């Protein structure tokens, strides 16, 4: 997260023409929308899930952050946008102006997923932070707000992180403005078991707490106050509530003024998740990244090597949905100055062009949402010489901008930009891509219901 009104997330897979195979690793690994503050977890279905915050484009400092999406993978290379799971307007006790949905986390216990998020309850936002809780029986959908945790939050107290110990005891941590607190949660996961206590022994704490355990050692990671560019430091303890022993920096500054990360083991390898601003160049339009994390023999962390290539695959890609439907641009209706041109480089022989001009658009009517409707991934296949974006409308609902980063040239139709949205049942849906934000040629779109 970050706290000087200039802050936090999105999803594109730069890949070959196949929806589910042929992808290669890259950092950032989510580029279709702007995301930050990644909290990573591995659940019993064998997939790794990342719960980030989202930077809304165009930004206005950090106050517009809202509309949490979740992303998952089975191989660390092919990422699935699971769709939006919560926004400020669904928080009954929340700030009436909305926004300010900052770094979240998720935990699982006894068949229920608990989603923890910071959100103010008053117009005077930094004085009224609370740690909210939403629950679901699914890891990435159907979350409902059940309240907030009494005794947490307060002035600048944000960034909740929940750690589940080997004995089933859950602990919650949160903090900001140089103060970090932690305490036990009751079995129901929505109440404190006794008062929180300060996490002592940390050096130069700013925000962004994360706790994990390896070989009997507890690790607490956090962002420090390094001038203008935060770093990620860590401390260790033999107890989940400390006292802690500061160990130093494990992630040097990215290209962003803020820093926020998480650490998780998946299929035998440890990973460090973090964010940077390499896609946008703006500290309040960030993108999440992942690189390997390695340990020394004494349990100390090696400094993470930040890469543009990301991490290699750890397994086969998931098969594409059998219900995936391809919609060619030749079947779209046009608006503004948009045209459909013969294009030998495009897979269908034609592409949607002139989308850099104001009010240009491509529209598909009678798009199928499957037999029962529900979450479906819209995948825009495109070519772009420079970074661009398209505005997405689905059934007249505005889903804001979907990024279409450069593929290296107008003939390079290797770009995918994915966003998961709800669709109605049957062939009742309308999908519209509106241009006017730099140049992109659209090859086709696919629509694929999520499992």
pLDDT in tens, 406-434: 999 999 999 999 999 999 999 999 999 99
Considering the domain boundaries, does residue 15 fall inside one? no
pLDDT in tens, 314-338: 988 888 888 899 999 999 999 999 9
Whether the predicted pLDDT of 16 surpasses 70: no
Mean pLDDT of all residues in 121-143: 97
Mean pLDDT of all residues in 366-379: 95
Same domain, 247 and 348: no
Same domain, 251 and 381: no
Mean pLDDT of all residues in 135-151: 98
Same domain, 283 and 339: no
Considering the domain boundaries, does residue 315 fall inside one? no
Considering the domain boundaries, does residue 359 fall inside one? yes
Considering the domain boundaries, does residue 139 fall inside one? yes
Whether the predicted pLDDT of 300 surpasses 70: yes
Whether the predicted pLDDT of 273 surpasses 70: yes
Considering the domain boundaries, does residue 298 fall inside one? no
Same domain, 348 and 427: yes
Same domain, 241 and 175: yes
Whether the predicted pLDDT of 17 surpasses 50: no
Q: The domain containing residue 245 runs over which residues? A: 34-292
Same domain, 349 and 406: yes
This prediction has a pTM of: 0.94
Whether the predicted pLDDT of 4 surpasses 70: no
Considering the domain boundaries, does residue 230 fall inside one? yes
CATH number at residue 187: 2.115.10.20
Same domain, 98 and 146: yes
Same domain, 112 and 231: yes
pLDDT recorded at residue 318: 81
Q: Which of 292, 316, 345 is the last residue of a domain?
A: 292
Q: Domain total for the chain?
A: 2
Token digits for 398? Answer: 């505005």
The answer for residues whose C-beta is within 8 angstroms of residue 364's C-beta and 6 or more apart is 327, 331, 332, 333, 430, 431, 432, 445
Whether the predicted pLDDT of 180 surpasses 70: yes
pLDDT in tens, 211-249: 999 999 999 999 999 999 999 999 999 999 999 999 999
pLDDT in tens, 381-394: 999 999 999 999 99
Considering the domain boundaries, does residue 318 fall inside one? no
Considering the domain boundaries, does residue 303 fall inside one? no
Locus of tokens 């078991």: 193
CATH number at residue 347: 2.60.120.260
Same domain, 268 and 358: no
The Cβ of residue 243 has, within 10 Å, a number of other Cβ atoms equal to 13
**Residues classed as catalytic:** 37, 207
Could you tell me how far CA 253 lies from the centroid of its own chain?
A: 20
Token digits for 44? Answer: 């019993």
Token digits for 180? Answer: 């970090």
Same domain, 286 and 338: no
Same domain, 238 and 103: yes
Q: Which of 292, 315, 339 is the last residue of a domain?
A: 292
The answer for residues whose C-beta is within 8 angstroms of residue 97's C-beta and 6 or more apart is 123
Same domain, 283 and 353: no
Are the CB atoms for 210 and 220 separated by under 8 Å? yes
pLDDT recorded at residue 451: 83
pLDDT recorded at residue 24: 55
């Amino acid at each position: 997260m970050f706290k000087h009104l200039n802050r936090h997330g999105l999803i594109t897979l730069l890949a070959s023409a196949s929806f589910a195979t042929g992808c290669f690793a890259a950092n950032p690994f989510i580029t279709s929308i702007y995301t930050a503050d990644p909290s990573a977890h591995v659940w019993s279905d064998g997939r790794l899930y990342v719960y980030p915050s989202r930077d809304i484009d165009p930004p206005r400092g950090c106050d517009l952050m809202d509309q949490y999406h979740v992303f998952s993978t089975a191989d660390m290379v092919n990422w699935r946008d699971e769709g939006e799971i919560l926004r400020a307007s669904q928080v009954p006790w929340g700030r009436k102006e909305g926004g300010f949905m900052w770094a979240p986390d998720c935990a699982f216990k006894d068949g229920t997923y608990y989603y923890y998020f910071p959100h103010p309850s008053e117009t005077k936002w930094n004085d009224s932070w609370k740690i909210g809780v939403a629950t679901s029986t699914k890891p990435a959908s159907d979350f409902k707000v059940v309240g907030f945790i009494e005794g947490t939050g307060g002035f600048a107290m944000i960034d909740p992180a929940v750690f589940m110990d080997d004995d089933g005891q859950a602990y919650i941590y949160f903090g900001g403005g140089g103060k970090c607190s932690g305490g036990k949660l009751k079995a129901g996961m929505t109440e404190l078991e006794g008062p929180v206590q300060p996490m002592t022994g940390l050096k130069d704490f700013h925000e962004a707490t994360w706790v994990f355990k390896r070989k009997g050692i507890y690790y607490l990671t956090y962002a420090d106050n390094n001038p203008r560019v935060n770093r990620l430091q860590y401390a260790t303890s033999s107890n989940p509530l400390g006292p802690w022993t500061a160990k130093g920096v494990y992630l040097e500054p990215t290209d962003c003024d803020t820093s926020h990360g998480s650490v998780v083991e998946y299929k035998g390898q440890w990973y460090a998740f973090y964010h940077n601003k390499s896609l946008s160049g703006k500290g309040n339009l960030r993108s999440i990244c992942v690189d390997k994390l390695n340990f020394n023999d004494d349990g100390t962390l090696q400094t993470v090597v930040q890469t543009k290539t990301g991490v290699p695959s750890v397994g086969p890609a998931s098969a594409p949905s059998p219900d995936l439907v391809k919609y060619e641009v030749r079947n779209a209706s046009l608006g503004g100055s948009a045209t459909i041109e013969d294009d030998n480089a495009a897979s269908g022989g034609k592409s949607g062009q002139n989308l850099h001009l104001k009010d240009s658009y491509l529209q598909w009517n009678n798009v199928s949402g499957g037999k029962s409707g529900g979450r479906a991934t819209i995948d825009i296949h495109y070519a772009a010489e420079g970074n661009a974006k398209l505005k997405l409308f689905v059934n007249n609902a505005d889903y804001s901008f979907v990024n279409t980063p450069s593929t290296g040239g107008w003939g390079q139709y290797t770009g995918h930009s994915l966003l998961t949205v709800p669709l109605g049942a049957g062939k009742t849906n309308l999908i519209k891509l509106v241009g006017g934000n730099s140049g992109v040629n659209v090859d086709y779109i696919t629509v694929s219901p999520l499992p």
